[in-house]
Structure 1
Amino acid sequence: MQNIWSITGRSIAVSSLAFALAACQSMRGPEPVVKSDIPTDYATQHSSGVSIAEQGYKDFFSNPQLVKVIDLALQNNRDMRTAILNIQKAQAQYNITENNRLPTLGTSAEFDRSRSKSVLTGQPVTGNVYSAGLAVTSYELDFWGRLKSLKDAALDSYLAMQSTRDATQISLISQVAEAWLQYSYANANLKLAEDTLKTQMQAYNLNKKRFDVGIDSEVPLRQAQISVETARADVGTYRTQAAQAQNALNLLVGQSVPTELLPNSTIRSVTNEKTFATGLSSDLLNNRPDIQQSAYSLSAAGANIGAAKAQLFPTISLTSSAGLASSELSDLFKSGSFIWSVAPSLNLPIFDWGTRKANVKISKVNQELALASYEKTIQTAFKEVSDALATRANIGERLDAQRSLVSATNRTYQLSNARYRAGVDGYLNVLTAQKDAYTAQQALLSLELSNLNNQIELYKTLGGGVKAYSTDQTYHQPSSAEVQSNNK
């Protein structure tokens, strides 16, 4: 019995040593270097104070109705639910790869009855064997770090899913805010069209009276009628747009938005911010979850290279068991019935027609693809911020010019209408002036909406929206590549 336990102890010691050595091995290669043509700053002049992305969305957006609508969307939107479910799936997959590095322990109880011929007498012999015990089934000794690499890849994929969820939240917040504003400005355009229709109806009635008493010909009357019908068509168009904007908002929120949360007047501002600072260019890399997602995917690709390389080497597995066995059930737990076995195995395909080497090549190509995607994501992020800044740089001047244009066209319409009533000019001048004033007011509403959407777009492209409040803390877990680099 002493010899048995001595052999078993040495086996356990050897296995533990192998396990410890395996934990230190990794065959992933050096991480690729990001090319130097990645932008280091924005192409447009900007304010480099603390980035507005550091603000939580509940602090950035100043309208309480809008904040409540955003909260409803984060709770009910189906894309957010999908992103959360994908995180749960990735977490379960990571748990599986983590468990694969540990021995699987099972219990068994067996009864074997067999009939054979006795070697000594040549007569048939019937025998029974009762057994019960514990077993470690096919535990792979991870000498080359294959299982560790697979675990690292699964962890990076899980972290990438978390970043995807954050990116989905940022996109959803901006879409909800823009749809909420679209509803407000569709109604503003509807009110403008209704007011214009009312004015045109008054002009039509006046021209009809002048025609009925013989002051004017039928031409001014029909010109006024054209304006009335055009205004009626616009009213129908903007009613449709308002309904569609509400439908789009309901879809984003995942339910019908309560009436009290819909804007009941034209929204002139969505934030109290006056200076839209971008922060340092390096802040963008930290604040944009889509960039983080690409970085995690790149790290996962590196880990898969390590797993593919490890398959070029032998796979060493260990199967062991210990328990009790007896030919009689009553003797199963008596002294002397203890049995054990340790069965290491080595598996190395000799001819696989280059399959394993091809897998290594595929994993390296996948890493190159992930690197290109990472670089493209960074370039796209800088481009989006620069585009938003370009709009921001000129939107104020455009608004001032458009407001002056509205004032001038309104005054021209008033003067033309007065001259027509005084009999100095014909009605065509009134129609032209009224059309110019109406078009200028529509353009002003469109530009005001663009200004608000630009503020939202800049907040989104800088990575704002992950936090609810500015005081909230965010933590980005390092990828397996960063962990390996820090441990060197």
Structure 2
Amino acid sequence: MRLLLTLPLLVCLSACSLTPTLGRPAAPVAASFPVAAATSASTLPASALGWRAMFGDPRLQRLIDLALANNRDLRLAALNVEAARAMFNIQEAARLPSVSLDASHARERALAQGNSGESRREVNRQVAVNVGTSAFELDLFGRVRSLSDAALARYLASEQGRDAAQIALGGAVAEAYFAQRLADEQLQLTERTLTDWQQSLELARLLKQAEQNSSLDVAQAEGQVALAEADLEARRRALAQADNALQLLVGSELPGDLPAGLPLERQSVIAPLPAGLPADLLLNRPDLRQAEQVLVAANADIGAARAAFFPQISLTASFGYASTSLGGLFDPARQVWRFAPQISQPLFQGGRLRAELRLAKVRKSEAVAQYERAIQTAFREVADALAGTATFDRQIEAQLRAVSTAERRLALSDLRYCAGVEGRLELLDAQRQLQSARQALLELRREEIANRVALYKSLGGGLHERDAAEIAAVTTAQ
């Protein structure tokens, strides 16, 4: 019994670690972003701004809700977390002795030699009850602890990976939704343009019948209508593909009771967002925290590989009772115990242990490189989004002026054509210019909204669901 009581002391004396000290690598990026962020009305960082507050379109909010519930990629990320947690629990259990209760009842008939030299048959019976531990490794050099630390870091990395997947999913749904809105509005614009050009073609044919224009004008109008019809089919295809992409992200068929969507020019997407400093990304982006935990796990694997060079001491011990009859089993005179420590020192393994240590060090170097690359990628994503924030407003303003100018040109060209001052070719060119300018404006509005979404994601936003009222309450409390 005293031997079993010494097990907790042995456990406490174990777990000397050979894991090297891990220092966070310096961020391989500039100390500040190349484009300064504009001041935001919200004092909260993007990572604390809920996606319901970020996206005001009720249709988009419903779609994100459906995606979080049904998307298969997010479901796989959650299952990976459960698997990593189970692996950690398995590895953590190896740090404690496993205690078992064993009971046995054996009967056998064997030949026994009598005093007269004759053999006779005997029936033997033995009953035993034991409590003990088997092959418990005393972690004197920290091998088991290092493996447990590595499993814990991988579990934490999987949790951060799930959060990163959720942020990516929310942003992808928003981008796909705005692409769908763009395709729908471009289709509507093309339909209106086709209707206008069909009316213009009808007018050209009437004028031809009245001998007030030539067959060339009719041919030009017919060609313009044909181009619009071809463009209409392309817009229909683009809308169908946008619907398919959005449905794939949502993970289920889109329900018929979705709220009506807002047009692009009325979309309520918060901008600008505070960017902070590059170092803040390490605190706000789950993918960077995931890369950091992967690095911690790789560093712990080095400790386990180092400890494999040292002796491994395992302990098997038991205490119990054994008797030939059940009635006298727990007689103090029937007490039995067994204590069997075992030590194993590697002598020759053909270089396997050294190769495993080199592999662990290489894996750590890979984790460092992946961590630094993740930081650089995050820095570029924020910098690109800030560059867009600084230029999109002025570009949209200029494009609005271009649309207004094209509208005035078309009106003047129509008047001059009706007055017979200029030919139909100039009128057709003005119509095409206005159509192109309006399509470009729609595309530009979608790109500007997508840039806001990209900045929101790159700053770690999209993990929480807080709506505008909750954000206002938090801001007031601060």
- TM-score using structure 2 length: 0.92
Corresponding position of 2:276: 279
Secondary structure, aligned partner of 1:113: strand
Mapping of residues 174-185 of structure 1, within 5 Å:
174-185=171-182
Corresponding position of 1:364: 361
Corresponding position of 1:18: 10
Secondary structure, aligned partner of 1:161: helix
| 1:151 is the counterpart of 2:141 | no
Over the matched positions of the two proteins, sequence identity in percent amounts to 37
Per mean C-alpha deviation after superposition, the further-off stretch among 49-58 and 67-76 is 49-58
Corresponding position of 2:157: 160
| 1:71 is the counterpart of 2:68 | no
- Residues 416-465 of structure 1: per-residue CA shift (max 9 Å, x gap): 11111111111101111111111011101000110111111100011101
Contact kept, 8 Å, 1:66 with 1:261, in 2: the verdict is: no
Contact kept, 8 Å, 2:137 with 2:313, in 1: the verdict is: yes
Corresponding position of 2:420: 423
Secondary structure, aligned partner of 2:14: helix
User: 1:264, CA displacement in angstroms?
Assistant: 4.2
Task: Read off the aligned partner of 1:12 and give its amino acid letter.
Answer: L
- Residues 90-113 of structure 1: per-residue CA shift (max 9 Å, x gap): 111111111111111222222152
Following the alignment from structure 2 to structure 1, what is the Cα–Cα distance between the partners of residues 274 and 290?
Answer: 24
| 1:87 is the counterpart of 2:81 | yes
Secondary structure, aligned partner of 1:65: helix
| 1:351 is the counterpart of 2:351 | no
Alignment match of 1:105 (pick from 94, 99, 102): 99
Contact kept, 8 Å, 1:113 with 1:129, in 2: the verdict is: no
Corresponding position of 2:317: 320
User: 1:116, CA displacement in angstroms?
Assistant: 5.7
| 1:115 is the counterpart of 2:115 | no
Following the alignment from structure 1 to structure 2, what is the Cα–Cα distance between the partners of residues 18 and 122?
Answer: 53
Corresponding position of 1:211: 208
User: 1:262, CA displacement in angstroms?
Assistant: 5.8
Mapping of residues 82-481 of structure 1, within 5 Å:
82-110=76-104, 111=106, 113=108, 115=110, 118=113, 124=119, 126=122, 127-261=124-258, 263-271=260-268, 273-469=270-466
User: 1:183, CA displacement in angstroms?
Assistant: 1.4
Q: Mind listing any 5+ residue stretches in structure 1 that lack a counterpart?
A: 1-7, 473-488
User: 1:469, CA displacement in angstroms?
Assistant: 1.7
Per mean C-alpha deviation after superposition, the further-off stretch among 130-139 and 88-97 is 130-139
Task: Read off the aligned partner of 1:56 and give its amino acid letter.
Answer: G
| 1:57 is the counterpart of 2:51 | yes
Secondary structure, aligned partner of 1:293: helix
Secondary structure, aligned partner of 2:18: coil
Secondary structure, aligned partner of 2:360: helix
- Equivalenced residue count is 463
Cα gap change, 1:278/1:151 in structure 2, threshold over 3 Å: closer, same or farther? same
User: 1:123, CA displacement in angstroms?
Assistant: 5.0
Following the alignment from structure 2 to structure 1, what is the Cα–Cα distance between the partners of residues 319 and 260?
Answer: 73
Following the alignment from structure 1 to structure 2, what is the Cα–Cα distance between the partners of residues 287 and 405?
Answer: 40
Contact kept, 8 Å, 1:68 with 1:261, in 2: the verdict is: yes
- Residues 162-202 of structure 1: per-residue CA shift (max 9 Å, x gap): 10011101111111111111111111101110111001111
Cα gap change, 1:121/1:107 in structure 2, threshold over 3 Å: closer, same or farther? farther
Contact kept, 8 Å, 2:58 with 2:261, in 1: the verdict is: no
Task: Read off the aligned partner of 2:38 and give its amino acid letter.
Answer: S
Cα gap change, 1:259/1:422 in structure 2, threshold over 3 Å: closer, same or farther? farther
User: 1:68, CA displacement in angstroms?
Assistant: 1.9
| 1:40 is the counterpart of 2:31 | yes
Following the alignment from structure 1 to structure 2, what is the Cα–Cα distance between the partners of residues 118 and 318?
Answer: 39
Secondary structure, aligned partner of 1:261: coil
- Residues 80-136 of structure 1: per-residue CA shift (max 9 Å, x gap): 111111111111111111111111122222215263655977554643332222231
Task: Read off the aligned partner of 2:13 and give its amino acid letter.
Answer: L
Contact kept, 8 Å, 1:149 with 1:306, in 2: the verdict is: yes
| 1:31 is the counterpart of 2:22 | yes
Task: Read off the aligned partner of 1:66 and give its amino acid letter.
Answer: L
Corresponding position of 2:474: none
Task: Read off the aligned partner of 2:264 and give its amino acid letter.
Answer: I
- Residues 385-419 of structure 1: per-residue CA shift (max 9 Å, x gap): 00111111111111011110011111111111111
Cα gap change, 1:119/1:100 in structure 2, threshold over 3 Å: closer, same or farther? farther
Q: Mind listing any 5+ residue stretches in structure 2 that lack a counterpart?
A: 472-478
Q: Give structure 1 regions of 4+ aligned residues with deviation exceeding 4 angstroms.
A: 116-125, 262-265
- Residues 255-313 of structure 1: per-residue CA shift (max 9 Å, x gap): 12234436445232544534322123322111111100000000001111111111111
Cα gap change, 1:382/1:217 in structure 2, threshold over 3 Å: closer, same or farther? same
- TM-score using structure 1 length: 0.90
